Amino acid sequence: MKPTEIKVKVTTHDLKTGIVNNPFLCPIALSLKRMGFVHVEVRSCVAIFTNGSMDYRRTLPPIATKFVSAFDRGLKVSPMSFSV
């Protein structure tokens, strides 16, 4: 069975409230939490999260890994979308 594709949309609000080097409160994690996911953790190349009944572990696409790296280094990043 093919896994369900999840569209992640990082907003300006996620960027403003995200915390550098915090895998639980970075902009991508905040975006997933806004979608109703809980227990969210985002590392440099993977996102781990659950919706309460199903656990997900998804490899981040290159655009997202570059975003995580730039954000954690304090570089300017912009709102973005990607699918996992």
- Give the DSSP H or E segment for 10: strand 7-10
**For 2-36, what is each residue's pLDDT tens digit?**
568 999 999 999 999 999 999 999 999 999 999 99
Predicted confidence at residue 1, as pLDDT, reads: 45
| DSSP three-state, residue 75 | coil
Q: Is 25 exposed, middle or buried (0-12, 13-18, 19+ CB in 10 A)?
A: middle
Q: What is the pTM of this model?
A: 0.93
Any idea what DSSP says for residue 27?
Answer: H
Q: What is the mean pLDDT of residues 58-70?
A: 97
Closest C-alpha to 18, from 7, 32, 6, 29: 29
Cα angle at 74 between 64 and 30, to 5 degrees?
Answer: 50
